[in-house]
Structure 1
C-alpha cells in the first residue's frame, strides 16, 4: 500500500514540475546578427533606434543569462558611442555581474574588460586604462576581437605618444591601421585621427592634412557623422598647437556646423528619457508578472494540496491502527507504573537512592538524575520541566539509558528496579 501511495504522489509532483518548467522555456536569440545590426545603427548615428530595440528585448522574460548579459553589453557600447560614459559604465557593471556567473569559457568578460579600457581611455583616466591594456597584452590579446585589438593598439600608441616615444607610437598606429583596413574599413578614420595627432606633434602639417582628407572621405562614404566631427576637431586642435590660427578658426567653424548636425546633447537627453520610460514599463510588466506568477503559484499549491489530501486519505487507516496501538501501549505503561507504585512504601520516597541501578558506573550523573525521575513516574514533559531541558533532549537521554542498561522500555526499567 505504501509503495502505491508513494508512486502516485511522485506522479503528481512530476506533473506539477513539468507544468512549472513549461513556463521557463527560453526563446533563442541570434546575438551575432543582433550585434551587427546595432553596430550598423550606431555608425549611422541612429543610437535611439539601437536603444529602443535593445530595451524591447530586455523587457522580454525568456532571455537566458548569457543573452541578457550580452544585451546589456550592447546597450553599454551604444551609450559609449554617444560619449555618455556614466550610462555606459552602469550597463557594463550590470553585464559584468551576470557574465561572472557564466561558464569560464565565455568571451563576454574579456570584451567587457576591453570596453572598460576604452571608457577609462575616453575619460582620460590613463592610469586605469593603461593597467587594463597591460593586462590584456599579457594574455597575448587572448579571445580579443580583431577590431577591439586595433583600438587597444591605438590606446597603447597614445600612451607612448604622451611620453614622446614617436617611433614606438607610429609602429602601434601602423599596426592598428593594417588591422582596421582588413576587418573594419569604415572605422579607419579613428586610426587616421590618431596618426594625425602624431604627425601634428612632429610638426609635419602637410602629412596631417593629407591624412585628414583621406580619412574624411572614408567617413563621408560610410555616412558616419561622428567621425567627421572627430576629424575636424582633431585638425582644429593641431592647427592651434602649431600656431596656425587662421586655419584653426576655419576648421573650428566646420566642426561646429557638424556638431549641430550631430546634436549629441539632445540625443543623449532623449535616450535618457527613453531609458526611464522602459524602466517604468519594465516595472509595470514585473508587477503584471507577479500577479500571473501568483496565480500559477496558487494552482501549483492547490495541486500539491490535493495530492496531500489524497495521500492522507490513503494512509488514514494505517494511522488509526497506529493510534490504537499507541493508546494500548500507554495504558499498559500506566498499569505497570501503578503496579510498581503499589510495591513501594507510601511513607517513603519512591526511589531508593542506594538501588544499584541508580549507581551504575555506566551512567552519567545527568542520566542518573533523569532515571530517578523516570522511576518516580514522571512523564517526559514533567522531566523536561524539572531539569529545564527540552522533551527532545529527554528522549535522547532515555534512549541512551536504555542502551546502556540493556532495556527495551519503561516496563523493563520498572522490573529491573523491583528486582534490584
Structure 2
C-alpha cells in the first residue's frame, strides 16, 4: 500500500525530522473529526441562495466575504450594522444581513453569537413574504452550527425537517452538505448502509454543481468503507478522489485525503502505510506552505521597495538641477501637502472614533446577552414536584442526563421529559439559567 500512496502523490516523501507541525494547515495530532469540522466549515458553511436576492444583497455578501477573508471582521460588522440600521432596508434584506453577521462570528468560532444572529435573522425574515425560504435557510444554518459543535441530536432534527421539506429554497450545494452531514451522523450511529446512501446522494448533487468539491464527500466515504471493512473499495475510492483533487488543482484536498488515510492506517495499526501517507502529506505541504508563500511576498515587496528607492534617487537628482527655479512651486506644494495631511488626520480620527463606538456597541450587546443567559431563576416561585426538584438539584451539581438517569434509576428519555417540563414551568431555555 506504501507504493500505492507514493505513486498517487506524484511527490517524494519528505523526512519527518525537523518538521514544524505548527506551520501545518492540518495538525496531525488533532482528532480526525475536528479536522472534518474545520474543512467542512470553510467549504460548505454559510452558503446561501442568490435566487430572489436583490443586487444590493449580492453586493453586500461579496463585500462581507471579502472583509472576512482579509480578517477585517470589525469592518464587516460595521458595514452590516449600517445596512441593518438603514430605514430603506427591507425585512427580507435585513434577514440576509443578519445571516452574514452570523457568518462573521462563525469565522471566529463564536458559536453562541452565531446562533444569536441566526435567531435575529429568523425574527426579521419572518416579517417578510418569504417565510418558507427564511425558515428552511435558518434550519440549514443551525444544523451546520450544531454539527460543528458535535451536538448531533440537534443537527439531526433540522436535517430530518429539511429532508421532509424537500430542501426547498436551498442552493443545491447547501443541499449536498446537509445530506453529507446526515450520512456522517448515520456513520457515527453505525447505520452504514444509510450512510453510504446519503453520501452517494450528496456526491451526485456535487457532480453536477461543484465537482471540484467531491473529495470532501469521498473523504467521508473512505472512513465509512474502513469501518465497513471494505479495504478494496476504500483504496479504489482514494484513487478516484486523489485524481479529482489533482484535476482541479486542489492541493488542500490532496492534503486532506492523505490526512484521512494516515488516520485510517493508524487506527488499523498499519504504521508503515501511516508513515507513508504522512510523508506524502508533508511533501504536499511544502508545495502549499505558508512560509514559502510569505517568502514570495517578501521578495515582491523588496523588489517594489527597491524600485521605489530608485525612483526617489532619480527624483532627488532631478530636483537638485531645478531647485532654484522651482523654489516657489515647492513652497506651494509643501503648503498643499500640509493641509492635505491635516485633512487626512481629521478623517482618520473620525474613523477611529467610529470604530471605538462600534466596538463599544458590540461589547455592550455581548454583555447584555451574557447577563441575560446568567440570570438566576428563583425556584421558590414555582410549584415543582419532588422529582423535578431532585433533577434541579442534580443540574446544580453539574450532572449529565446519563448521570441523573443512573442516580434516579430512570431512562435518559425520562430525564429529558422532566427537563422539558421544568424548562416550561420556569420559562427558561436551558439548564445554564438554573443556579
Structure of larger gyration radius: 1
TM-score (norm 1): 0.48
TM-score (norm 2): 0.46
Relative contact order, higher structure (CA 8 A, sep 6+):
2
